[in-house]
C-alpha cells in the first residue's frame, strides 16, 4: 500500500495555446507522516523516437508531509519548441506527471496531448514551417494512464535488518476509474509512456 495517493488531478486552461503555461490542480492524501519532501515533476515527451527530446518542464518539492489531505496548483512553462523535432510538434505526444519520494518514483500519470493548428485552413493546408503561435494543445484529461510503482517509504524502519523489503517487480497500472488493465508486455520497459 502506498503512503501517498493522488485523489484528483484537474487540468486547467485546456485546451490552450501551445506557448501557454501548463496548470494542474493536484489533490492527494498522505496516510503516514513523511519526514522528507515529495518531488513532483512534469515532463513533456518531445519525440516518441528520441528520449533526448524529453523536456523536464518543472520540478517542485513539497514537504515534509503529515497525515492528511492536500491540494496545490502545479504550474509549468511550456516546452521549448526549438528542442522538439519540427515534424513532432504537430500531432499527438505525451505529458507525464510524476511523484517521487527519496528519489524513488511511485506514481506516474500520463496524458496524451494533441497539438494542432487553431485554424481549419491551416489544419487542411499546413505550412512547411510550423507557425508555433498558431498551435493549440489539447490535453486528453479524461483518459489519464496511471502507473503506480511500489517503493519503501520508510527505508530506515523496514524491519529486515537494513535490507529493503521485497517488492513486486511489476508496476501497477490503472485507468481513470481505478481498474487494472490486463498485464501487457510493455511493463518490461523502465520508461513507460501511455
pLDDT at residue number 157: 64
pLDDT band at 162 (very low <50, low <70, confident <90, very high): very low
pLDDT at residue number 185: 37
pLDDT at residue number 171: 57
pLDDT at residue number 154: 83
pLDDT, average across residues 133-145 = 96
pLDDT at 59 over 60: yes
Write out pLDDT tens, residues 107-124. Answer: 999 999 999 999 999 999
pLDDT at 40 over 60: yes
Domains of the chain in start order, with CATH, are 4-188 (2.60.40.1490)
pLDDT at residue number 193: 44
Of 5-14, 131-140, 148-157, 160-169, minimum mean pLDDT range: 160-169
pLDDT at 29 over 90: yes
Long-range contacts of 149-154 (CB under 8 A, 24+ apart): 149/104, 149/105, 149/106, 149/107, 149/108, 150/2, 150/106, 151/101, 151/102, 151/104, 151/105, 151/106, 152/104, 153/2, 153/3, 153/4, 153/32, 153/34, 153/101, 153/102, 154/32
Amino acid at each position: 500500500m502506498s503512503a501517498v495517493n493522488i485523489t484528483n488531478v484537474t487540468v486547467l486552461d485546456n485546451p490552450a495555446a501551445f506557448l501557454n503555461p501548463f496548470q494542474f490542480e493536484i489533490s492527494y492524501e498522505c496516510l503516514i507522516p513523511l519526514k522528507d519532501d515529495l518531488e513532483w515533476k512534469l515532463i513533456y515527451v518531445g519525440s516518441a523516437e528520441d528520449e533526448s527530446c524529453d523536456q523536464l518542464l518543472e520540478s517542485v518539492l513539497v514537504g515534509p508531509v503529515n497525515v492528511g489531505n492536500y491540494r496545490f496548483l502545479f504550474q509549468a512553462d511550456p516546452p521549448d519548441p526549438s528542442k522538439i523535432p519540427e515534424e513532432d510538434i504537430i500531432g499527438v505526444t505525451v505529458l507525464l506527471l510524476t511523484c517521487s519520494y527519496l528519489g524513488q518514483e511511485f506514481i506516474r500519470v500520463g496524458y496524451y496531448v494533441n497539438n494542432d493548428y487553431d485554424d481549419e485552413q491551416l489544419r487542411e493546408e499546413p505550412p512547411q514551417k510550423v507557425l508555433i503561435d498558431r498551435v493549440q494543445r489539447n490535453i486528453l484529461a479524461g483518459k489519464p494512464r496511471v502507473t503506480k510503482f511500489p517503493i519503501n517509504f520508510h527505508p530506515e524502519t523496514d524491519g529486515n535488518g537494513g535490507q529493503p523489503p521485497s517488492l513486486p517487480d511489476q508496476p501497477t497500472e490503472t485507468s481513470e476509474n481505478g481498474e487494472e488493465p490486463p498485464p501487457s508486455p510493455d511493463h518490461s520497459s523502465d520508461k513507460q509512456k501511455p
